[in-house]
Amino acid sequence: MNTPAGPADRLVILGVAESDAHAVANQLITMQLQSHGFTVLNLGVCTPLSDFADAHDRHPHAEAVLIGSLNGHAHQDLRTLPELRAAGRLRCPVIVGGNLSVGSRKAGTDRQRLLDLGVDHLLADAGGLVLLLDMLHAARAAELQHG
């Protein structure tokens, strides 16, 4: 929805999962990432996974796709990730954050079944997001140097 100016070398694609309309954290994360120098392509709320894939096709240099899900429907909303990956799409770290299942008592299985879909990283709090992106960035740079 908005692509404000920033150093073009660190682009991330951000959005909220398909059945979820929670906009506040999405807008705060945009502000936070921008303040750390990222360019944020924010697809906004209620974004189908195919729209994330389309955005990544258009911006293949994006460092990561960040998907927020606060309504507990993450597994259902991301269920087509294996198909998209099999078709060679979304080949970048997919990071999912928020409240990842229905109910207030969380089980390890809720996390595991998202990882089984192919989600690369799960965050319950946006506080660690910049650190994770920096680590992934550094790892990728090292890979390019030595690999």
Partner 1 sequence: MAELHGLQLDDRIAAELPDWEAIVAHLRTRRPVAEVLRQAAAGGRPLVQPRCGVGGHREMVELLRALEPAGPGVLSVTIDSHTRLRHFDTAAELLARNPADLNGYPLVAHGWQRGRELAAAVDVPLEVRHGSPDGRELFAVALAAGLTSYEGGGIGYNLPYSKNVPLGHSLRAWQQVDAVCGVLAAEGVLIDRELFGTLTAVLVPPSVSLAVTVLEAVAAAREGVRCLSIAYPQGGEIHQDVAALRAVRTLAARYLDPGIEVHPVLHEFMGVFPRTRSYADLLILHGGLLARLGGATKVISKTHQEAYGIPDAEANADGIRTAALGACELLDFVRIDEDRVSEEQHWIEREVAELVDPVLNEPALLPAIEAAFAAGRLDIPFSASVHAHSRVVPRRDACGAIRYAGVGALPFSAAVLRRHADLLAPAPGARERSPFEAATADIRYFLDNEDRFHSSTPHRTRSEPPQRF
Strand 64-69 and strand 121-123: the pairing is unpaired
Mark residues 45-84: x for contact with partner 1 by CB under 8 A, - for none: xxx-----------------------xxx-xx--------
Q: Which residues ranging from 103 to 132 are in contact with partner 1 (CB under 8 A)?
A: 103-106, 124-125
Residue choice 5, 8, 24, 86 for contact with partner 1 (CB under 8 A): 24
The SS3 call for residue 15 is strand
Strand order in the sheet with 39-42: 39-42, 11-16, 64-69, 94-98, 121-123
* Interface with partner 1, residue 139, by CB under 8 A: no
- Residue 48 burial (CB count, 10 A): 15
Smaller CB separation from partner 1, 46 or 136: 46
* Interface with partner 1, residue 91, by CB under 8 A: no
